[in-house]
Amino acid sequence: MKLIRSMSVALVLLSTAFFAQAVAIDFELQDTEGKSHKLSDYRGKWVVVNYWATWCPPCLEEMPELEIFHNNHKDKDAVVLGVNLEQISPDALRNFVSEQFISYPVLLSGPKARTELGNVPGMPTSFLVAPDGQVAAWQVGTITAVELEAFIEGHKNKN
């Protein structure tokens, strides 16, 4: 009962913390190995686009949650794309990602306050892109795997 209540609370908090948009957006960025990733490559899946930096303590705090979510969903219905928003070399970022045991794609963007998906007023900022390519929600601040799963389940139940 406690778990169900926690999940209900998380869904309510997530629903109010996220702001929905209805705009299909695409972008293309390279990962630390130079491979290009387009948002549209992931159509048909939920995509968590997480904007972060290595110097951001809350970003580092949520990385294990994003890793859990990614590993639980990558072969089924969702993926995580980490987009680094700082001036950092691909080698330094690759080493950092390796030290953090991150397996989801980490893309290089460089510093900016406005991204293709919208403003990033603080870090971390995550955008949740629906399988049809439209931004379903966004949040400034940390997020958990349970909150992401609850939001997606709630969205599925509405349809």
- Domains of the chain by range and CATH? 2-158 (3.40.30.10)
How high is the pLDDT of residue 5? 36
Q: How far apart are CA 105 and CA 59, in angstroms?
A: 15
- Provide φ and ψ at 137, rounded to 5°: -170, 165
Instruction: Identify the pLDDT of residue 23.
Output: 55
Low-confidence ranges of the chain (pLDDT < 70): 1-24, 159
Number of H helices, E strands in the chain: 4, 9
Cα–Cα separations (whole angstroms), residue 150 to 46, 52, 87, 130: 13, 22, 34, 14
Contact 50, 67 (CB under 8 A): no
The helix/strand/coil state of 81 is strand
What pLDDT score does 16 carry?
38
74 contacts: CB under 8 Å, gap ≥ 6: 80, 104
Q: What pLDDT does residue 37 have? A: 96
Whole-number pLDDT of residue 20: 46
Residue 13 confidence (pLDDT): 37
β 118-119/28-31 pair status: unpaired
- Residue 150 has a pLDDT of 92
- Per-residue pLDDT, 34: 93
- State residue 45 phi and psi, 5-degree precision: -125, 155
**Whole-prediction pTM value?**
0.84
Residue 118 host element (H or E): strand 118-119
Q: Are 66 and 139 in contact (CB under 8 A)?
A: no
Give the count of alpha carbons within 13 A of 90, CB side only.
10
| The predicted structure's pLDDT at residue 22 | 52
9-31 in b/e form (b: 16+ CB < 10 A) is ebbeebeeebeebeeebebebeb
